[in-house]
Amino acid sequence: MSETIKRSDVNGQIAKLTIDMPGKGANILSGDVLNELDQHLDRLKGEDGLKGLIIVSGKPGTFIAGADLREFVASLDADREEIVGLCRRGRLLFAGLHELPFVTVAAIDGICVGGGAELAIACDRRIVSDAANTQLGFPEVKLGLFPGWGGTVRTPRIVGLYNAVEMITGGKSISSADAVEMGLVTESVPAERLLDAAIHLIEQETESQSFLEDRKKWARPLKMSENELSFLGVTAAGFIEQQTKGHYPAPLAALEVLIGGSSLDPQAAGELESEEMANLFGSPVNRALLNVFFLTDRNKKQFAAHQTSTPIEHVGIVGAGIMGQGIASTNLRSHLPTVMNDTVSDVLQRGMQSVLEQASYSRNLKGPDVDQTIALAPLLSPGLEITEFQHCDLVIEAAVERSEVKKNIFSKLEEVVDPKAVLATNTSTIPIDELASSLAHPERFLGIHFFNPVRKMPLVEIIRGTKTSDATIAAAFAYVKKIKKSPVLVRSGPGFLVNRLLLPYMSEAIELLLEGITPQAVDRVAKQFGMPMGPIQLYDVVGLDVAAYAEKTMASAFPDRIPQSSLVTDLVEAGRLGQKTECGFYSYRNKKRRAESDPTLNPFIDKYKKQDRDPDAEEIQDRLMLPMLLEACRVLDEQIVEDPRDVDLSLILGIGFPPFRGGLLFWADTLGVAKILKKLDRYQSLGSRYEPTRRLLRLAETGDTFYD
């Protein structure tokens, strides 16, 4: 087995351990790597004449990207004592750095997170590069865990309990500048000076011996009064509860460990950390969030599989409406020159102004950054005439959702753009082959479907038509990667993937209203399940006119499965379009434009009401989720996507399906097919939309699951 950690010496008195995993793009702390580290530390203990130890990475831009999560997965079913032992082993191994008779320094360039950050804080000192990608953090709560190798013990003793609570329970990484300000690291220097700075620091510490004083200080409990601890606990717990809605137990568990361990000596605090970690490890939420991690990792690797010989350097956008603006601003933030076209001059000017405001938006300023606006403005060009697209490598149409309009646009574009240019539509409903039917070169045409709001939504559906070439698909994947979005390859069909699965969920919510269930009750159950908002409020956010058009398309394709009601049509005709008209299923005529119950909705519902019922929450949840699940089975059978993982990632990124459930099909696997079929049997009187699919019946026969 190739070694990962290599020992070398600097000036004869400083040892350097370089971590460089063979054949990997980033370092991770696997069991084998920890064994190597243990052996190196054991040898260093017995050496005389050393002034210090420097730990560095052999991979520029990455220090250590955390622990080996595949080993985590292999241990998910381990018993409690084994998990406690694994945590204790890592913690005591890192503690060995403080037992060396000389100063230890972590010299960090790039990503240093999770187990890598725990290794770094186990050193006496840390120096970081000032590179933009250098960051330190403890993202374990995003996996349903918290730092388990001493991170909850050492961090509060170095930076204080308040800072440690914020870092560990929030799971967000901090920049090199913030790490210096917090006191987590000693200084930030250019990457090329990192080693020299570490050597200089060792010389200083050898003379001052201040690192030994810190070792003594960090070996004691923290000095905080009961009142301080109580105040921190109550305020932090309230904030965490507000953020997690009770669905994610790890942040609260981390808070309890941090506060409980602060008054203990490090050994006892470490044992508390290990014991509490065993309560989370292998839990349903931990398993689900690990699955989400691997879904995302798989998607990143799919990027690499699609290499293109036609890089996208200039992009054109047809349409200066909301979607066109969102796509253009995303291009600008990735420094892609973009031409925006609209046939109406005023619309184009307003659209360009909005694009620059979106592209230069600063979270700190809570508005556009003027300097950023000035820097990005040269990348955006207006185009009243379609001839402005002649130099574009990719043109994305985001015009009105009407087939004849789009076909006309693409006919004109074919006459203007370079023969190698890619043509794409942002349509959410119209089949790709229908739009490609009049093109001379349909092989370079496809769908690139963004979700609204583009700035916030990471998912992009790359929709393949019957004649779309592999080269066109590769170019689209490369483009979506360049603008830092997550692409999923989808075969063309009604609603493509996300909207096809979303519409049964939304239309079933309307059926529940017609059975006498209130909008608030429907939405409350959906949010209790973990959805970011309920389906009824989602109608208002999307716009009832937009939803009505999508429902019409889906009902036309699948009349036996999409319940058709005139309720939404009546609301649209009455001008109740949702948030944009301050009135839909809810009223938004208040200062904060929040959804409020609206009694004037009742006559619209009463006109079509079938009965008055008061079902329990389980039935409402079943009625919302099972139609979506059944449609996902059909999507897989029709090979709209190739893998259940594509379904799950798309729903998490596209509609906010709760990550703590692991994805729709992952959640179905946790329920088990037998339980799903039993639930479906209860609703057979509602028609074919609740009829078990061939895939479900086959899984029941074989005992298999959606995930292999």
Cβ proximity of 146 and 257 under 8 Å: yes
Q: pLDDT tens digits, residue range 649-659?
A: 999 999 999 99
Residues 6+ apart with CB under 8 A from 498: 451, 459, 461, 650, 651, 654, 655
Question: Which range is least confidently modeled, 452-466, 546-560, 679-693?
Answer: 546-560
Predicted confidence at residue 303, as pLDDT, reads: 63
Predicted confidence at residue 432, as pLDDT, reads: 95
Predicted confidence at residue 306, as pLDDT, reads: 58
Q: Is 324 exposed, middle or buried (0-12, 13-18, 19+ CB in 10 A)?
A: buried
Q: Is the pLDDT of residue 307 over 70?
A: no
Cβ proximity of 49 and 20 under 8 Å: no
Predicted confidence at residue 301, as pLDDT, reads: 83
Predicted confidence at residue 309, as pLDDT, reads: 63
Structural tokens at position 264: 């203990």
Amino acid found at 59: K
Cβ proximity of 491 and 449 under 8 Å: no
Predicted confidence at residue 18, as pLDDT, reads: 97
**Spatial strand order in the sheet of 111-113:** 62-64, 111-113, 135-137, 174-175
For the chain, give the mean pLDDT: 94
| Average confidence (pLDDT) over 23-52 | 94
Q: pLDDT tens digits, residue range 161-216?
A: 999 999 999 999 999 999 999 999 999 999 999 999 999 999 999 999 999 999 99
Which residue, among 425, 342, 356, has the nearest Cα to 388 in the 3D structure? 342
Structural tokens at position 594: 């929040």
Predicted confidence at residue 171, as pLDDT, reads: 96
- Three-state DSSP string of 35-88: HHHHHHHHHHHCCCCCCEEEEEECCCCEEECCECHHHHHHCCCCCHHHHHHHHH
* Measured distance CA(508)–CA(532) in Å, rounded: 18
| Average confidence (pLDDT) over 304-324 | 83
Share of the chain above pLDDT 70, in %: 99
Confidence of residue 308 (pLDDT cuts 50, 70, 90): low
- 3-state class of 678 per DSSP? helix
Place of tokens 């500048």: 177
- Vertex 60 angle, CA 145 and 13, to 5°: 95
Predicted confidence at residue 290, as pLDDT, reads: 97
| Average confidence (pLDDT) over 494-500 | 93
Give pTM, 2 decimals: 0.92
Residues 491-530: b if buried by 16+ CB within 10 A, e if exposed: bbbbbbbbbbbbbbbbbbbbbbbbebbebbbbbebbeebb
Is the model more confident about 621 or about 547? 621
| Phi/psi-derived region of residue 582, left when phi > 0, alpha when psi is between -120 and 50, beta in every other case | left
| Average confidence (pLDDT) over 30-47 | 94
> Which domains does the chain show, CATH number per domain?
5-280 (3.90.226.10), 313-490 (3.40.50.720), 499-702 (1.10.1040.50)
| Average confidence (pLDDT) over 355-366 | 88
Element of type H or E holding 394? strand 394-397
Q: Is the pLDDT of residue 411 over 60?
A: yes
| Average confidence (pLDDT) over 134-152 | 97
Backbone angles phi, psi at 309, to 5 degrees: -95, 0
* Measured distance CA(197)–CA(5) in Å, rounded: 21
Q: Is the pLDDT of residue 634 over 60?
A: yes
Give me the residues paired with residue 274 across strands.
none
CA 255, distance to chain mean position in Å, is: 23
Q: pLDDT tens digits, residue range 363-374?
A: 878 888 899 999
Q: Is the pLDDT of residue 553 over 70?
A: yes
The residues annotated as belonging to the active site are 449
Q: Is the pLDDT of residue 705 over 70?
A: yes
Tally the C-alpha atoms within 13 A of residue 230's C-alpha that lie toward its C-beta.
3
